[in-house]
Structure 1
Amino acid sequence: MDKIMEYMLAEDEGFGDITSNAVVEDGKIVSGSIVSKDDGILAGIDIIRELFEEYGVKVQFWLKDGTKISSGDVLMSFLGDARTILLLERTALNLSMRMSGVATATNRYVNLVKDYDVRVAGTRKTSPALGKFDKYALKVGGADTHRFSLDDMVLIKDNHIATCRSPLDALLKAKENVSFSKKIEIEVESLDDAIECVKNGADIVMLDNMDTNETKEVIDELNKLNIRQNSLIEVSGGITDETIVDYAKLGVDIISIGALTHASRSLNFSLNIEDSQS
C-alpha cells in the first residue's frame, strides 16, 4: 500500500508542483482541515494521517475510521509546510473519498440484513492497484473482504470449469491437487451441479446469478437431502439493495456484491487552508 501511495503522489506531482512553487513562499507554515460535504461512514483517514505525518505535517485532530460522519464535520486538522500540504492534497482526498464511499455503501447493505444470519462480502471487482484499499474499506463498513488475491483460496469459476468436463470434474481435480489448508469454493449455475458439489465436499458453493426462486429451490433440495450443513452457500450476481433481503430470508450464508467496490459513489471531502504563519 505504501508503494502504491508513493506512485499516486509521483503521478500527481509529475516534474514538480509549478503552481505552488510559483505562488507559495518557501517554508510557509499553515494550518487547515479536511471537511466532509457528505453523510456516511469514514474510511481511510488513518491512512491519510500516516501519510501527512510521514511528510512532516503535524496532525492535530482526526476522527477514527468507521465513524459516522455528516456534512460539515471536520475529519482532520493539521499544521505544516504549505507546499507539502498542497502536494498531498489531491491524493489524500481522492483516496479517502473513495474509501469512505465504499465503506458507506457497504454499511448500508450490511444494515439491511442485520437481522439475518448472513454475511455480506465484497469481491475482487476493484480498481487496479486499489484492491487493498477497497478491501480495507469493506471491512470498515462491516462486510467480509472475501479474497484479497488469487492465492487466498480456491475459487473455481465458469472459465475454470470451461476447461474441464463439468463443475464436479473441476471440484475433484482441485481436491486432489490443493492442500487441505485451502478452502475450495465453486461457482455453479444449476440445481444438479449445486447438489453434486455439496455432496462431494465443496467448502463453499456459489450460486451464480440465480434468482430468488432458483436459490430457494437449491436450499429446499439440500434440506430435503439433509446435506445442507455440508457446505456454505453463497449467492452472487446482480444483487441490489432492493433484493438483498429476499436472498437473506432464504437462509444463504454469504451474499457477495461486486458493486460495493466497482460502483460505489465517492463521498465528497474538501481540504481547506485556514491560517498561515510567517
Structure 2
Amino acid sequence: MDTFLLDRQLRRFIEEDLEHGDITTDAIFDNTATGLATFIARQDMVACGMEKVAARVLCLLGTGTLTFGQIARDGQAYGKGDVLMTVNGPVRALLRGERVALNLVQRLCGIATLTRQFVDRVTGTGAKITDTRKTTPGLRMLEKYAVRTGGGVNHRYSLADGVLIKDNHIAACGSIIEAVKRVRSNVPHTIRIEVETDTLDQVRECLDCRVDVIMLDNMDLETMREAVSLVNGAALVEASGGVTLETVRDIASTGVDLISVGALTHSAPACDIGLDWI
C-alpha cells in the first residue's frame, strides 16, 4: 500500500471519530500521562495490518512519541491469546486512536483469515483465489491488501484497470463480437480483455474474438469442465458466482485458472482483537 495514499485515508478515519476532540480522555488525562498497551488476539487468525495500519493510526496521533514492541507479521497465523502488538506512549494518543485502529485491523484480519481458508481449500489444484470489486466504499485499498496477505490475488482495483465485458454490456451492445470490436478500437493494446459468459456458445464466441480471459459465470461443474476443454489454454479461465468454502475445491478441480470470490471482502467476519492496558 502506498504510504502517501494510506495516510490520507487514515487521517480521514481519525477525523471522523475524533471530530473536535475526545472529551472523555482529555478530561481525565493531561499531555504528560503515558501508558503501555497490548493488542491481543481473542481468536485464531491470520494477521494483517498491525504495523501498516494500526501502528500508523497511533503514530499519526502520537507525533513521534510512541514506541512499539513486538508486532505481528502480515500473513502469519496467530492463536487465541497471542500478543499482536505492544505500544508505549501518551495515553491521550492511545485512547484517541484505539477504536479506529481496532476497527480497521479487525476487518483486515477477518478478510485475510477467510482468504487463507479459501486458498487452503484449493491447494494443489493450480487455481488461484481472487477478489472482486465488492469492497467496502473507502476501504478498497486496505481490503485488497488483506486479500493478498491471506494468499489470494487481486482482480481489477477499479473500472480503469482492465476491460471486463459483462452481461449488461453484451445485452446493450448486441453481441460479444461487437462489444469486443468496439473495445479494441478504443483502448490501448496493453490492456487485457475479459468477457463474462453464461453459456458454452458464448465461450466459443470469446474464442473467435481471441479475448484474454473468459469468465464462467454461475456455471455448473460439468459445463465448466466442457468450457475449460474448449478453451484448451487459449485464454485464462475464471470461475465466478456463488463460490463458497464448501464448493471451491470442486470448482478448482474443473481446471479453471482463477476463482473470484466476492465473499472475501463483502462477507468476511471481523476478527476479535482486544486492546488491554498493562
TM-score (norm 2): 0.93
Alignment of 1:135 with 2:123, yes or no, is no
Structure 1 residue runs of 4+, over 3 Å off?
none
The aligned counterpart of 1:104 is: 113
Once the two structures are TM-superposed, the CA of residue 115 in structure 1 deviates from its matched residue by 0.9
Is 2:57–2:100's contact at 8 Å kept on the other side of the alignment? Answer: no
User: Which stretch shifts more, 52-61 or 105-114?
Assistant: 52-61
Instruction: Tell me the distance in 2 between the aligned counterparts of 1:231 and 1:246.
Output: 21
The aligned counterpart of 1:50 is: 56
The aligned counterpart of 2:233 is: 229
Alignment of 1:268 with 2:277, yes or no, is no
Once the two structures are TM-superposed, the CA of residue 45 in structure 1 deviates from its matched residue by 0.9
Instruction: Tell me the distance in 2 between the aligned counterparts of 1:161 and 1:77.
Output: 53
Alignment of 1:208 with 2:220, yes or no, is no
Alignment of 1:41 with 2:46, yes or no, is yes
Once the two structures are TM-superposed, the CA of residue 114 in structure 1 deviates from its matched residue by 0.8
The aligned counterpart of 1:249 is: 253
Once the two structures are TM-superposed, the CA of residue 60 in structure 1 deviates from its matched residue by 2.1
Instruction: Tell me the distance in 1 between the aligned counterparts of 2:273 and 2:79.
Output: 11
Q: Structure 1 unaligned runs (5+)?
A: none
Deviations 1:142-168 (A, max 9, x none): 001111111111111122223201122
Letter in 2 for 1:172: K
Instruction: Tell me the distance in 1 between the aligned counterparts of 2:10 and 2:240.
Output: 31
Among all aligned residue pairs of Structure 1 and Structure 2, give the percentage whose two residues are the same amino acid: 38
Once the two structures are TM-superposed, the CA of residue 174 in structure 1 deviates from its matched residue by 1.3
Instruction: Tell me the distance in 1 between the aligned counterparts of 2:135 and 2:91.
Output: 33
Once the two structures are TM-superposed, the CA of residue 210 in structure 1 deviates from its matched residue by 1.2
SS at match of 1:163: helix
Is 1:168–1:193's contact at 8 Å kept on the other side of the alignment? Answer: no
Counterpart selection for 1:171 from 161, 180, 196: 180
The aligned counterpart of 1:11 is: 16
Letter in 2 for 1:179: P
Is 1:52–1:58's contact at 8 Å kept on the other side of the alignment? Answer: no
The aligned counterpart of 1:146 is: 155
* Number of residue pairs the alignment of both structures matches: 269
Counterpart selection for 2:244 from 209, 234, 240: 240
TM-score (norm 1): 0.93
Instruction: Tell me the distance in 1 between the aligned counterparts of 2:207 and 2:115.
Output: 29
User: Which stretch shifts more, 48-57 or 162-171?
Assistant: 48-57
Is 2:14–2:97's contact at 8 Å kept on the other side of the alignment? Answer: yes
Letter in 1 for 2:38: S
Q: How does 1:118-129 map to 2 (within 5 A)?
A: 118-129=127-138
Q: Structure 2 unaligned runs (5+)?
A: 1-5
CA RMSD of aligned residues (A): 1.2
